[in-house]
Amino acid sequence: MRSILLIVRRSLRTHALSTALTVLSAGLASGLVMSVFNVSQQTTNAFTGGEIGYDAVLGAKGSPLQLVLNTVFHLESSPGNIPWAMYQEWRDKPGVRYAIPYAVGDNYYGHRVVGTTEDIFDQFEYQKDRPFEFARGRKFDEGYREAVIGASVARKRGLALNDKFQVFHGLDYSPVLSQLHPEVYSVVGVLEPTNTPADEVIWIPIEGIFRMSGHLLADGTEATELGGGEIPDEQKEVSSVMIKFTSPAVGMGRYANTITAINRGDAATIAYPIAQVMLGFLSKMGWITKVLVYIAYLVVGVASFGLLASIYNTMNERRREFAVLRALGARRSTVFTAIVCEAATIAFLGALLGYALYAIVMFVTAYFVREETGVHLDTLAYHPSLVWAPVAMVALGALAGIVPARKAYATDVARTLS
Amino acid sequence: MPLLEIEALTKVYRSPEGSDEVVLDVPSFTLEEGAEVALAGTSGSGKTTFLNVIAGLASPTTGRVLFEGTDVTQYSESVRDQWRARNLGYVFQTFHLLEGYTALENVLLGMMFGPGADRRRAKELLERLGLEGRTGHRPSQLSVGQQQRVALARALAGRPRLVLADEPTGNLDPRFALEALGMLRELCREQGAALLCVSHDPRVLDALDARLEFADVNVARSHAGGDA
């Protein structure tokens, strides 16, 4: 075994450049496979919301996917509004643990401004058994222009307690097109990080959205025209309602027909179960993952052939080495094993490098996904590919070593040394 | 019992034209334990083939190669490899040191497949041959004379019973040739190894205890074109 290790070590050193390049290509292959599987898995996990603390989203008639993206992930535009009464109806239904209204339409430098009720701090769970917690300050008072901001908003915008700010009209910020609302809000609370898109959100009282200059009520008038008076319920609209049932049986059983009827009707859409909606979307996009997987496999194949070619090309110059080793008493099997081990070692080093590349890819991907969507990918999460991809790379490397090893095996000692 | 006995040994090569060429025809040859024998022969007389057959690197067409009474031609290849590693040292005309390895590692390779690597012994041998400051050097960083000494150390490192030397001084400056030969003989004597040396250099042939004309040993009438 010592002799094989010495032969492998010396060969890797002697052919350092080709070794390094082959290790790099094996590393790219292994890292790519692990990255594709893990990014896909983590994205699916993050967007199918296995941990989301509520069950359904009620909103305007349209695509359930758009509704979920808009309400859960704070992406996409809102499909429209539904009457306040519909929110009240669901809030008061038996078997509904809570119903939280959302009203959207403004942003603060791209951070979505969501009008809602205090219930979001009292009852809501953004993930199972995880309510919002305050890092600093308190929840807003619904009668004032007060805001509670997510952790990322505080960090990225440098907002702190008692800071004043004005919001821009529209869901997306554009320095040219955005209109600044004159209403000034005061930060009264900063939430602890949740590692969800909620970190990117500014929460204000829903009345604030209704009364924002330029926002129209259901009848087309502005609330400001009402002065400080109460807005009649029939004039209020919400973008969506997050609904949590007291148990899964409520949604699946008691309200199954109601949900079906709503979705068949023209007034509203109810996205339920949320995970199913996202899973349906992601499975439609699954072909992208498949293509990436095939590309990754192709890269693995190319890397394996590259490894084979790299070692095979050294066989002629190394023929004398093998003949000398044989003359010194090395068995054919020793020489054969040394070449296979050399190929496997290169693949192994590549697999180690693959972990580093994988870490970089995951880190960069997680960074961009977090910045763009607020969704946090778990970069340290385990996926079986973290084991089988490097093992397969080493096995393929050893397999690729068999071809040159056979050539070394067949070296004619007497002829080569004469 | 002689250390090495050869009986009715032939080696026949088939030429590209289809005719058989008898390269070796050695009716009988013996070498006693610890003996020194020089085989004198011209280039192309089959000396190297003779050594390769003894070493088991080439198979004879007919005949037997008895080492301590056992016919090594009957061994399987892997057993023959092991036998070679444990009992034989080989000094090549062009040294055949491995460039990717240091001087010390080249010597260690001479032990690894036989008795096992002994770093201390390998170093002692190199020091003994005046290479104490060169153990970490690669062959290309050594002079020709130093390379030859590394090759000698490698051949003797595994304490072989028989050392085969193929024109061991052929690549050396005449000044160093006898010095190298002296080292080889000295090491063989110390270890009790027999030395079978083929050469056409008269200084080498005269220096060893016994000298035989290879043409008397090998009676083949048809010779191959080269020292194959």
In tens, the pLDDT along B150-162 reads 999 999 999 999 9
**Tally of CB atoms within 10 A around B87:** 20
Q: Which residues from B are below 8 Å from A328, CB to CB?
A: 85, 90, 109-110, 112-113, 154
DSSP alpha helices (H): ranges in chain B?
Answer: 47-55, 77-87, 103-112, 119-128, 144-157, 174-191, 202-207, 214-217
pLDDT in tens, B109-161: 889 888 888 999 999 999 988 888 899 999 999 998 899 899 999 999 999 99
Residue A417 banded pLDDT, cuts 50, 70, 90: confident
What's the rounded Cα separation, in Å, for the pair A108 and A154?
12
ipTM above 0.90, yes or no: no
Interface residues of B toward A, Cβ cutoff 8 Å, are: 48-49, 52, 55, 57-58, 77-78, 81-82, 84-86, 88, 90, 92, 96, 98-101, 105, 108-110, 112-114, 117, 154, 158, 226-228
**What mean pLDDT value characterizes chain A?**
87
Residues 6 or more apart whose Cβ sits within 8 Å of residue B125: B107, B153, B156, B157, B187
Parallel, antiparallel, or unpaired: how do β-strands A134-137 and A180-191 relate?
Answer: antiparallel
Mean pLDDT of A332-344: 91
What's the rounded Cα separation, in Å, for the pair B66 and A65?
86
Q: Which residues from A are below 8 Å from B55, CB to CB?
A: 327
Q: Which residue has the higher pLDDT, B179 or B185?
A: B185
pLDDT in tens, B79-118: 999 999 999 999 988 889 998 899 999 999 889 888 888 9
Quick one: residue A205, left, alpha or beta (phi over 0 = left, psi -120 to 50 = alpha)? Answer: beta
Number of A/B CB contacts below 8 angstroms equals: 85
CB proximity A415 to B under 8 Å = yes
Query: pLDDT value at position A223?
Result: 67
Indicate whether B227 pLDDT > 50.
no
Residues of B44-65 as b/e, b for ≥16 C-beta within 10 angstroms? ebbbbbbbbbbbbbbebbebeb
Quick one: residue B210, left, alpha or beta (phi over 0 = left, psi -120 to 50 = alpha)? Answer: beta
What's the rounded Cα separation, in Å, for the pair A168 and A107?
5
Indicate whether A117 pLDDT > 90.
yes
Helix crossing, A16-48 with A385-409: angle to 10°? 160
Q: What is the pTM of this model?
A: 0.73
DSSP B72: G
For residue B42, the distance in angstroms to the closest alpha carbon of chain A comes to 15
CB proximity A4 to B under 8 Å = no
**Which among B49, B57, B114 has the least Cβ separation from residue A413?**
B57
Q: Which residue has the higher pLDDT, A407 or A140?
A: A140
Mean pLDDT of B156-171: 88
Quick one: residue A329, left, alpha or beta (phi over 0 = left, psi -120 to 50 = alpha)? Answer: left
Q: How far is CA A237 from the centre of its chain?
A: 32
Indicate whether B225 pLDDT > 70.
no
Quick one: residue A76, left, alpha or beta (phi over 0 = left, psi -120 to 50 = alpha)? Answer: left
Quick check: A320 and B84 CB within 8 A? no
**Which among A6, A332, A417 has the least Cβ separation from residue B77?**
A332
Please, which residues 111-150 of chain A have a Cβ atom closer than 8 Å to chain B?
Answer: none
Going by C-alpha positions, the residue among A329, A336, A350 that lies closest to residue A395 is: A350
Query: pLDDT value at position A380?
Result: 82
Indicate whether A207 pLDDT > 80.
yes
Instruction: Provide φ and ψ at B114, rounded to 5°.
Output: -110, -105
